[in-house]
Structure formats: structure tokens, C-alpha cells
Amino acid sequence: MGGAVRVIVLAFEAAIGDFELAPKLEVPSGITVLFGPSGSGKTLTLEAVAGLLRPDSGQILAGDTPFFDSSMNLHVPPYERRIGYLVQEHALFPHLTVGDNVAYGVPDLPRDARKERTRQLLGSLGIGELVDRRPVEISGGQAQRVALARALAREPEVLLLDEPFAALDAATAGTLRRELRRLTQELNLTVLLVTHDLNEACQVGDRIAVMDSGRVLQVDAREEVARRPHSARVAALLGYSNVLRGKITNVNKGGQVQTSIGLLSVSELLELEGTQVDLAIRADRIVLGRGSSFFEDRSNVFEVKLVEESDLGVSRILHVRVCGTDTSRMGHVEIQMADDRYKQLDVNGRRDWYMHIPSEAIHVMAL
């Protein structure tokens, strides 16, 4: 079971009112996550792949088969595309049993073949015993499994998932993410999944495509996207709270960058002294200490004042101001610290600290 198409290619433009949608993306086998804020065009992109939205120009290809090609005036209707589409609301037919809901996805198969396909899919999702129940008699997580089985019944060339776990509790959503990854590998699926939840994107995706204002800003393996954003905007969308503008002052041994908090040494190779760059600094890699002698590496050590903190239960968010900078936000740095480390350092109530930013925690981005 599973589609034979390996790559879906998107390169189209569509104007929806004042909004311009122009994604460029290749979706190989595995799970590609469209990640971005609400209103960035993620769902519209899925609708274009499904045939529910007709672009103004460009192409959508499934392998060598065009779904849409403006140069040929070609727009394959949704019912002729082998697409599985699953939305947040499972949209099961309430008057049909679980088994009939799944079988509805393959009306052209003979009756016995439909029953066998349904049995296999429900079994693979661990809900075979629900075959004769109706949607009102099952839980939300079970209903979403049924909807996924129905989407897979056609052996789709591409599976489109629009915020499929958003309405579920954390435990159920986590279980379904793992099941989706297992099924993707077992059935050799090509999946395009939409989410605005970064944790979900990293947990479920093989690749992440960061989308904003109708365009794909960056696409790569999830680890590469998370650790090496291409721009300050991508870094902000990925949750980097420390993004600094600076100027390269030294290109030897990695290099140094002059920023609003001071001179920072970086481990990444730099080019052309005097060039302006942006730096993305991971808040969870920054270290606090009682004095500068606390740190073996004396580079990137700054005296700071703790100005604000938040308790997240298992971790703390600390906002510090680098001494010698003005009181504006330009001199502020955010630190994320595990709760046990916070207690070990006895941070509560103490304002005067030293901060070390490891050079490996700094990613350099061209403007």
C-alpha cells in the first residue's frame, strides 16, 4: 500500500484578495511540515495541491504528472487527483459506521475489496474493534484515527494534513504523531502537514518548510532549520528571542562581531570585515555564574543585571541587561534555564550575575 509518487513540486502564484501566495517547494517522500504563523498561506497551499484552489500561474507536479500547469491551461479537478486530505475537524459522517466511513474513501472498489482495505487500515491504526461503531460512540483521538484511515484508503500519491492534532489533548496528539511517523515509513508516504506549533513540527517532520506572508523562506531537514535559520525573520518564527545586529570586526579563528551588547566571538567562519550580519543566539545555551572566574572559557563573558524572570514550571525564563549598555531592550538578553539549575544557583532575588555565551550557541546570518 502507498503511492508511487516520490516528489510533489510546487511553484505557483495565486492572488486571494490582497494576499499573494507564491510558494516554491519540493515535497519528497516522508513528512514535510509547512510551519508558520496564522495567515501565512499554509492552508491555502494545501488547498492548491488538493485542487480546491486554482492558482493564477505556475505549476503543481506529482512526479511527472501535472496537477496544475498554467502554460497548458491545465487544472486537474480534485476528484481526479489521488489526494488524501485530513483537516482538524475529522468530518466523519455521523450516520455511517466507522467501517463505512473508511470504505467511503474507495467507492470504486468491489465490496469485498473495500471491506479488506478497511480492515487493514483500521488494524494498522489499532482501532479494528471500532469497525461497527458510529462516530458519536468514539473519542476524539479515535475519530481522528478513523479520518486518517479514510484519507489513506485511496492509496494517495500525497497525504495532506491541516493541523490534524490541534483539537486533541497533548497525550493523544503525541501518540498520533508517533503513529503517523510509523505509517509514513511503513507505507512509503509523501506527506505535507500544516502546523503553527514548532514542537509538533520538530517532533513529526523529516523536513520543515518555514512559511511567511505566502512564501517559503527556508526548507531543510528539521535539525538544520532549527539550528541554522537563514534570516532574522526565520529565527524569530522559530522562537529565537536573542537576535542581534552586528558588524564583523575580525575574521581570524572564526571571527568576532561587534553588537549592541559588546564584542562576540563566534565559531562559524566569517568573511569580509565590516560586513553587517545578524546573530541568532540560543537562549538555552547561555550560562549564568556568580563571577567571571566561574567560566573556563573567558570569551563572551559579560556582567549582567537580572531584570525580569518567569516561571514555566520545569524551566525559567530570565531577562538580563548587560552592564554598560543603555536601559533599552537593545542591551537585553533572554536566558532559558532548567528549574533544577535555577535552584542550584539560588537565582531567586539575586540581581548581579555574569553571563557566558558559548561561541557554538551563536549562528551568523547574512542580511
- Residue-wise pLDDT tens digits, 274-294: 999 999 999 999 999 988 888
What pLDDT, on a 0 to 100 scale, did the predictor assign at position 305?
96
Q: Residue holding cell 529565527? A: 235
Q: Report residue 152: phi and psi, to 5°.
A: -85, -15
244-366 fold: OB fold (Dihydrolipoamide Acetyltransferase, E2P) (2.40.50)
What pLDDT, on a 0 to 100 scale, did the predictor assign at position 6?
65
What pLDDT, on a 0 to 100 scale, did the predictor assign at position 233?
97
Domain ranges of the chain: 7-233, 244-366
What pLDDT, on a 0 to 100 scale, did the predictor assign at position 5?
58
Structure pTM? 0.91
- Choose the CATH number for 7-233 among 3.40.50.300, 3.40.50.920, 2.40.160.20, 3.30.450.20: 3.40.50.300
Report, as ranges of residue numbers, the positions in the chain whose pLDDT lies below 50.
Answer: 1
Q: Which grid coordinates belong to 234?
A: 526565520
What pLDDT, on a 0 to 100 scale, did the predictor assign at position 258?
96
What pLDDT, on a 0 to 100 scale, did the predictor assign at position 43?
97
Q: How far apart, in whole angstroms, are the C-alpha atoms of residue 243 and residue 255?
A: 18
